[in-house]
Structure 1
Amino acid sequence: MTYGREEACAAIAMPPGLATVTMGYRWMHNMIGESGGGVYRLHGRQDAPDLFLKHGRGMVADDIADEMVRLRWLSDHIAVPTIRRFVHTGDEAWLLMTAIPGQTAYQHLTARPHDRLAVVDALATFLRQLHAIPVDTCPFISDHHHRLMQARARIDQGLVAEDEFDEEREGWLAEEVWQAMQDLMPFTPDRVVTHGDFSLDNILLEDGQVVGLIDAGRIGIADRYQDIAILWNCLGEFDDALRSHFLRRYGVADVDNRKLQFHLMLDEMF
């Protein structure tokens, strides 16, 4: 089941080595969260595992290279896709990875309404495990200062999709969101290893347990609300009660609404 999140497509142009490895697969184009690049699921090749391919040019190619490095580091700590091939030629990059078994958390919540609390329990447990990775082992910084610089560059280059802002900021300009973020600072970060885009489409489950993460290009040290805010926001699509359940299971006794709102607005920039 894809729930409108992907559609069949033709194979894209690739370097010869990659074209050989992917020969015989059927292609599905992922329509969620591409940020200017392309994400493809390759399936249907007899006696061969499914694969995922990320492709992009320019800044997106650099992002793909960043994700490749982060995947190699993160694989020592939690389950992530295995890199099969990585090619970076000038202004273009391709990252071919194995597919983690299971379905996304979004698929689970959509297909199994009676199991939603159990799914949220599994997500909260896994997020605590991710945030328990020792900070001093992580070589990547993704804190709000770093990401604000990226956000400012995206605003200046006209890359922020203002028409896709959450309902609370519908009709806002990127500059208005930027100013609202400034008004919420400063705050003291609670530094942990974060995923950076801990959304329902990036978390894989099987038999009721989280079995891995995808889309690891923002992995790095940041305030824990970087992940808490994004998952909290996603759960609101299904039921506000799931948001409260998630916070309790994760261990948030008193919600820091300032950090929550700041990180929700920061995510609008990407």
Structure 2
Amino acid sequence: MERTLIDQNREEACKAVPGPWRELPELSGYQWSRSTVGASGCTVYRLYGKGLTPDLYIKHGAGPYADDLSAEAERMRWLGGYAAVPAVLHFARTADEAWLLMTALHGKTAYQLLQAYPEQQFAVVDQLARQLRRIHAIPLRDCPYASDHLSRLDRARARIDAGLVEEDDFDEERTGWTAEQVWDALQDLLPQRPDLVVTHGDYSLDNIVFCDGEIEGCIDLGRLGVADRYHDLAILWNCLGEFGAPLQQRLLQQYGIAGPDYERLKFYQLLDELF
């Protein structure tokens, strides 16, 4: 499917940037745009406009984000055996930088659909819940990656100490908080008793792509691993709050949770603020 237009709300046109893809002749002839959404620390480019040739994406990470991108490439390849994800076409790494070239998932994100088609909101949430159940049903023994709350807390502490937490990007209810205040609030909710499953790790509305009313696949897999199912539920729950409590309750209902643990929801929402 050809996409030739720039989505002014999500990307901006740019020139081709230097990188190892210059050695790949099949990338010549594309136009470039840079994503203006997301907060992963990596830069995302869409390559488009080459006749009927499909779009591609390039993700670039530097410094501490190079390791994150290496983890994402590895996990994307792994999850591709169980769910629809972009195909990794090329990955390159130096000591300080990493580049990931992948196929595109065409369509609109769950966030875009909820915004544009209010009458479809319950149907979108139902599909999100079903896909999340399928990911969580992957056998634990098959997954070689750990993303439990203790390892995540260690990484969060390291990010705080390195000054990597974007405090001005906290949710509205925590406007004005410092990363240390979030950290302290997390400690008040420990210990946690996790219900371990294979998790996406960042199951937000912008990371699930729909096409023709069906889920096309998911993206941003750098945090995938075995963790508490509430890790994914809390992130999606938090995203749905923008569209109203009925959608949040619909998520839990369709996922199959009759009595939600709101303390665990809060814990994983706080933890996500530090990433």
Matched, 1:230 2:227: no
| Displacement after TM superposition at 1:157 (Å) | 0.8
Contact 1:122-1:208 at 8 Å conserved across structures: no
Q: Summarize the alignment of residues 11-22 of structure 1 with structure 2, pairs less than 5 Å apart.
A: 11-15=16-20, 17-18=22-23, 20-22=25-27
Long gaps (5+) in structure 1: none
- Aligned with 2:71: secondary structure? helix
Give every structure 1 segment of 4 or more consecutive aligned residues whose post-TM-superposition deviation is greater than 6 Å: none
The structure 1 residue matched to 2:88, chosen from 66, 73, 83, is: 83
Matched, 1:4 2:12: no
Aligned to 1:94: 99
Change in CA separation of 1:16 and 1:32 when aligned onto 2, cut-off 3 Å: closer
| Displacement after TM superposition at 1:176 (Å) | 0.8
Long gaps (5+) in structure 2: 1-5
Matched, 1:240 2:214: no
| Displacement after TM superposition at 1:3 (Å) | 6.4
Deviation per CA, 1:202-233: give whole Å up to 9, x if none: 10112222121111111100000110001111
Contact 1:3-1:107 at 8 Å conserved across structures: no
Q: Distance in 1 between matches of 2:158 and 2:148?
A: 16
Contact 1:162-1:172 at 8 Å conserved across structures: yes
Aligned to 2:201: 196
The sequence identity of aligned pairs, in percent, is 55
- Aligned with 1:197: secondary structure? coil
Q: Summarize the alignment of residues 7-86 of structure 1 with structure 2, pairs less than 5 Å apart.
A: 7-15=12-20, 17-18=22-23, 20-86=25-91
Matched, 1:114 2:114: no
Q: Distance in 2 between matches of 1:5 and 1:253?
A: 36
Change in CA separation of 1:38 and 1:18 when aligned onto 2, cut-off 3 Å: farther
Contact 2:240-2:248 at 8 Å conserved across structures: yes
Aligned to 1:164: 169
| Displacement after TM superposition at 1:90 (Å) | 2.5
Aligned to 1:186: 191
| Count of aligned positions | 270
Aligned to 1:141: 146
What amino acid sits opposite 1:219 in the alignment?
Answer: L
Deviation per CA, 1:54-94: give whole Å up to 9, x if none: 00112111111111110111111001100111111221111
Q: Distance in 2 between matches of 1:62 and 1:187?
A: 27
Q: Distance in 1 between matches of 2:148 and 2:157?
A: 14
Q: Distance in 1 between matches of 2:26 and 2:200?
A: 29
TM-score normalized with structure 1 length: 0.96
Deviation per CA, 1:161-209: give whole Å up to 9, x if none: 1111111111111111101101101021000000110001110112222
The structure 1 residue matched to 2:265, chosen from 260, 264, 267, is: 260
What amino acid sits opposite 1:209 in the alignment?
Answer: E
Q: Distance in 1 between matches of 2:91 and 2:259?
A: 43
| Displacement after TM superposition at 1:36 (Å) | 2.2
| Displacement after TM superposition at 1:240 (Å) | 2.0
| Displacement after TM superposition at 1:154 (Å) | 0.6
Which moves more between the two structures, 18-27 or 253-262? 18-27
Q: Distance in 2 between matches of 1:57 and 1:239?
A: 37
| Displacement after TM superposition at 1:11 (Å) | 1.3
What amino acid sits opposite 1:180 in the alignment?
Answer: A
- Aligned with 1:237: secondary structure? helix
| Displacement after TM superposition at 1:117 (Å) | 0.7
Contact 2:21-2:27 at 8 Å conserved across structures: no
| Displacement after TM superposition at 1:31 (Å) | 1.6
| Displacement after TM superposition at 1:113 (Å) | 1.2
Q: Distance in 1 between matches of 2:238 and 2:109?
A: 16
| Displacement after TM superposition at 1:102 (Å) | 2.1
What amino acid sits opposite 2:272 in the alignment?
Answer: D
What amino acid sits opposite 1:199 in the alignment?
Answer: S
- Aligned with 1:70: secondary structure? helix
